Amino acid sequence: MKKILYLILISVLAISSCSEDFLTEKPVDDIFADNLLVSYSGFQNMQNAMFALVRDEYDRGDRYYGGTSFGSIPFAKHVLFSAGADNSWGNNRHTNFRHLSYPKNITDMEDVIPFQALFEWLYKVINTSNMIISRAENPDIDWQGSSDAEDLANKNTTLANARLVRAWAYRHLTYAFGPVPLSTEEITGSNYRTDWERTPVADIREVMEQDLLFAIDMLPMRTANNTVPSAAVARHYLGELYLAMGRPGDAKSVLQPLVEGTDYTLMTERFGKNAANPGHAFIDVFRSPLFSDGNMEVLWAFPNTEPENAATGYSPNTFMRNMWRNYYSSLSDISKLNHPDYPGQTIKLFWSLNGGKGAGRLAISLGAFNLYKYNEQDTSDVRYDENSLVWHLYFLNTDNQEYEVLKNGISLINLTPNAAMSNDADPTIKQYNWPSTKKWDYVNPIFEQSDADNAYNDIVYLRLAETYLLYAEALYKLGEGGEFWLNKIRERAQVTPIDGSEMSIDMILDERSRELITEEERRHTLIRLSQENGGDERLASNIFKTRVRTYNEVSGREVRGMWDDETPVLLPIPQAFINSNSGRVIQQNPGY
pLDDT at 72 over 70: no
Of the given ranges (69-78, 128-137, 143-152, 252-261), which has the lowest mean pLDDT?
69-78
Asked if residues 498 and 490 have their Cβ atoms less than 8 Å apart, the reply is yes
Domain boundaries, the chain: 2-285+574-580, 309-459, 461-550
Q: Which of 65, 51, 70 is nearest to 12 (CA)?
A: 65
pLDDT at 535 over 90: yes
Q: What is the pLDDT of residue 165?
A: 98
What mean pLDDT do residues 358-363 have? 95
Q: What is the pLDDT of residue 359?
A: 94
* Same CATH fold assignment for domains 2-285+574-580 and 461-550: yes
Q: What is the pLDDT of residue 180?
A: 98
pLDDT digits (tens, 9 = 90+) for 291-345: 999 999 999 999 998 888 877 666 788 999 999 999 999 999 999 999 999 999 9
CATH placement of domain 2-285+574-580: 1.25.40.390
What mean pLDDT do residues 350-361 have? 96
Which residues have C-beta within 8 Å of that of residue 9, sequence separation ≥ 6?
28, 29, 32, 33
pLDDT digits (tens, 9 = 90+) for 176-220: 999 999 999 998 878 888 999 999 999 999 999 999 999 999 999
pLDDT at 233 over 80: yes
Q: H/E element holding 460?
A: strand 459-463
Start-to-end CA span in the chain (Å): 41
Q: Dmax of the chain from CA atoms?
A: 75
Q: DSSP of 252-313, one letter per residue?
A: HHHHHHHHSSSS-----S--STTTTSS--HHHHHHHS-SGGGT-SSEEEEE----GGG-TTS
pLDDT at 18 over 70: no
Asked if residues 573 and 15 have their Cβ atoms less than 8 Å apart, the reply is no
What mean pLDDT do residues 470-479 have? 98
d(CA 408, CA 197): 62
Q: How far is CA 376 from the centre of its chain?
A: 30
Give the pLDDT band of residue 111 (cuts 50, 70, 90): low
Q: What is the pLDDT of residue 100?
A: 93
Q: Which of 22, 44, 75 is nearest to 159 (CA)?
A: 44
Rounded percentage of the chain residues whose pLDDT exceeds 70: 91
**Helix, strand, or coil (residue 136):** coil
pLDDT at 11 over 90: no
Q: What is the pLDDT of residue 310?
A: 77
Asked if residues 450 and 437 have their Cβ atoms less than 8 Å apart, the reply is no
Inter-helix orientation angle 543-551/505-516, to 10°: 60
pLDDT digits (tens, 9 = 90+) for 403-456: 999 999 999 999 999 999 999 987 789 999 999 999 999 999 999 999 999 999
pLDDT at 6 over 50: no
Mean pLDDT of the chain: 91
What mean pLDDT do residues 264-269 have? 98
What mean pLDDT do residues 253-259 have? 98
pLDDT at 69 over 60: no
Asked if residues 36 and 135 have their Cβ atoms less than 8 Å apart, the reply is no
d(CA 44, CA 207): 24
Task: Tell me the CA distances in angstroms from 83 to 113, 177, 526, 550, one per residue in order.
Answer: 17, 15, 12, 16
Task: Tell me the CA distances in angstroms from 225 to 101, 309, 338, one per residue in order.
Answer: 38, 20, 44
Q: What is the pLDDT of residue 75?
A: 83
pLDDT digits (tens, 9 = 90+) for 75-95: 899 999 999 999 999 998 777
**Rounded CA Rg of the chain:** 24
What mean pLDDT do residues 358-386 have? 97
pLDDT at 9 over 60: no
Q: What is the pLDDT of residue 63?
A: 52
What mean pLDDT do residues 445-472 have? 96
Q: What is the pLDDT of residue 71?
A: 53
Q: What is the pLDDT of residue 68?
A: 43
**Helix, strand, or coil (residue 449):** helix
Q: What is the pLDDT of residue 108?
A: 76
What mean pLDDT do residues 269-280 have? 97
CATH placement of domain 461-550: 1.25.40.900
**Helix, strand, or coil (residue 395):** strand
d(CA 84, CA 87): 7
